[in-house]
Structure 1
Amino acid sequence: MQPVWIEAVEPAVLKATGAPALDEVSGDRLRYWGSSEVWRLSYGLRSVIVKRGSDAQSTEGMAYEQYVRPLRLPAPELIELVRLDGAVLLVMEDVGWVTLEQEPSLDGFLAAIALLAEIRSVEVDGPSEFGAGRLAELAAEVSSGRQGWVEDSALGSSADLVERVETRLRPAVDELHRLVRPAVVHGDYVGKNLVTDGKRWTPVDWPLTYLAPQLPDLYTLTREAVALGHDRDGLVARYCEAAEADRDLVERQVLIGGCGFTLRALAWVIEEGVHTVPSSKTWIDPLLEELDGLLEQL
């Protein structure tokens, strides 16, 4: 079984797997999620990952060109890239069969923490792409409630959300930008996007990558780990040790990063998710409550 769009990357698939013809290649769909579809294509012992991304997921090719390749980030090798009908098709190295979501061990989370510290240590030459102005834009998008779903929320009225972002979050973000240089943010650093071959861990799915001093990646990873019963304190301490970073500053980066993550997630759900993933409408209230709690800590 294979999707018809695989034919657009047939030469790269055959070369990478060594298969004589596409009908000799076996296909296993790993993910089908609104704007993203991911397959493992195998021939004998050789396999590749093929992904079709649209909407927000269509930027992964640009992320590879702008960040992953020039900075030599620990990501799957990009073998082929084809842009087709408003979507991007990527043929990538197969870096493993098990994700941290499938086997959420403490050792796995600790390894992911160390890997994140490695990513954040890469020196970058460029300005932050997620400053206070961007956060204000997201707050405005969310508060407008284009589908009318966020008026009676944990954050009160739309005007309340914008005001709290302006009075609480903006000053904190501006101060952080004065203290810390921008570094790479994966943008979706969670268990389903961390893959192991039994020897090493590799982050996959890079379309949301940007530069910023915040630490939303550590926020999302520890958020998931705590939900599974792991101790947050030990995970953050491991990051501070691996990154040789001050704990108080890291906590500030994580808190501000969490605000940005929730705002970004809310904006995506309201503008795109409700159309591509209808069930995401149920995420709005929990995300608003989460954002409320984070803003209270600033």
Structure 2
Amino acid sequence: MLPAWLDVIAGPVLEATQAPAVGELKGEVLREWGSSEVWRLSYGLRCVIVKRGSDAQTSEGAAYRRFVVPLQLPAPRLIHSVETDDSVLLVLADVGRVNLEQEPSASGFLAAAELLAEVRSKPVDASSEFTSKQLAELVRRSPADPELAERLLTVGAAALDQLHEATDARVVHGDYVPKNLVSDGTRWTIVDWPLTYLAPHLSDLYTLVRDAVAIGHQAEPIVARYIDAAGADPSLVQRQLSIGGIAFILRALTWVVEEGVRTVPSSSEWINPLLAELDDVARGLG
């Protein structure tokens, strides 16, 4: 069984795999959510990844045009893309069969920290897309209680303004978690770019460390590896991590309440733990 929407991108898939016909392709479902469907299609030893994204996932084609291609970011090569009224269809190079979630080694997390430093090294001639105004909008849309909301709108906003004065906005992947870090056994590649935007914070490092700690790794070596690879100021990185944590959690909360409860019903169970985490990070700002 192959995806029903394959006909739209069949030509580029057949060219990339050199399959004589669609019926000769072998299909493997890698992900099937309400807003994201991902397949590996192969013919002999040749294979590609095909994706269909809807809702928040429709922006991946734009992310490739804005950031991935011009900045030569470590992402799968885009072979073809088609945008429809309600979705985006992508044909991508297959960059490996193992991700960091499947094999969560300490060396893998350190490699991911170095990869992030590479992404953050790319200067971008554009303004931040996570300012105090965006912070306030996310707080308004989130289920944060009045006390937490007030702390975010005062202490959090002030810290974010200071961060903009201290450093430039750079690319933020937006979902820098182990399942989106793929290896072919030689090199690591970042997949799934629809949530990409520009900001001075380090939410990507925050989520990487967050997941590493959850499975028993230590945070300090990962942060230290990023600092060393990026040649960054440790005190600035700590500020970027705090604001990055707030950005990640607020964006996750608004996604859950506005889309996730519909496309991934089980995500409603994430709300209370995310609110508790947000409160901890916000209190750490002072």
What are the equivalent positions in structure 2 for 1:136-285 lying under 5 Å apart? 136-143=136-143, 157=145, 159-285=146-272
After superposing on structure 2, the runs of 4+ consecutive aligned residues of structure 1 that deviate more than 6 Å are: none
Partners of 1:195 and 1:132 lie apart in 2 by 33
Q: Helix, strand or coil for the counterpart of 1:47?
A: strand
2:60 corresponds in structure 1 to 60
Q: Which position in structure 2 is the counterpart of 1:120?
A: 120
SS class of match (1:49): strand
Counterpart secondary structure, 1:101: coil
Q: Could you tell me which residue of structure 2 aligns to residue 90 of structure 1? A: 90
Q: Partners of 1:110 and 1:196 in 2: how far apart? A: 13
Q: Tell me if structure 2 keeps the 8 A contact 1:139–1:161.
A: no
Q: Secondary structure at the match of 1:41?
A: strand
Pick which of 284-293 and 75-84 moved more.
75-84
Structure-2 separation of matches of 1:122 and 1:287 = 31
- CA distance in structure 2 between the aligned counterparts of 1:42 and 1:134, rounded to whole angstroms: 42
Q: Shift in Å at residue 32 of structure 1?
A: 1.1
- Does the CA-based 8 Å contact 1:81-1:90 persist in structure 2? yes
Please list every run of 5 or more consecutive structure 2 residues that lacks an aligned counterpart in the other structure. Answer: none
Return the TM-score normalized by structure 2: 0.98
Alignment of 1:23-102 (within 5 A): 23-102=23-102
TM-score (normalizing by structure 1): 0.94
Secondary structure of 1:199 counterpart: coil
| C-alpha distance in structure 2 between counterparts of 1:243 and 1:54, whole Å | 34
Partner of 1:4: 4
For 1:18, the equivalent position in structure 2 comes to 18
Aligned-partner Cα distance in 2 for 1:198–1:188: 22
Question: For each residue in 1:265-297, what CA deviation from the matched residue of structure 2 results, as whole angstroms up to 9, or x when unmatched?
Answer: 000000010011111110000000000000000
Report the RMSD for the aligned CA atoms in angstroms: 0.8
Aligned residue number for residue 134 of structure 1: 134
CA-CA distance at 1:162 after TM superposition? 2.6
**CA deviation digits over 1:39-65, x for unaligned, max 9?**
000000000000000000010000001
Shift of 1:161: 3.2
**Counterpart amino acid of 2:175?**
D
Paired residue secondary structure (1:40): strand
Instruction: Quote the Cα distance in structure 2 between the aligned partners of 1:282 and 1:38.
Output: 24
* Distance (whole Å) between structure 2 residues aligned to residue 225 and residue 198 of structure 1: 20
Deviates more, 1:79-88 or 1:262-271: 79-88
Match of 1:288 in 2: 275
- Runs of 5+ unmatched residues, structure 1: 144-154
**1:85 deviation in Å?**
4.3
* Aligned pairs, number: 285
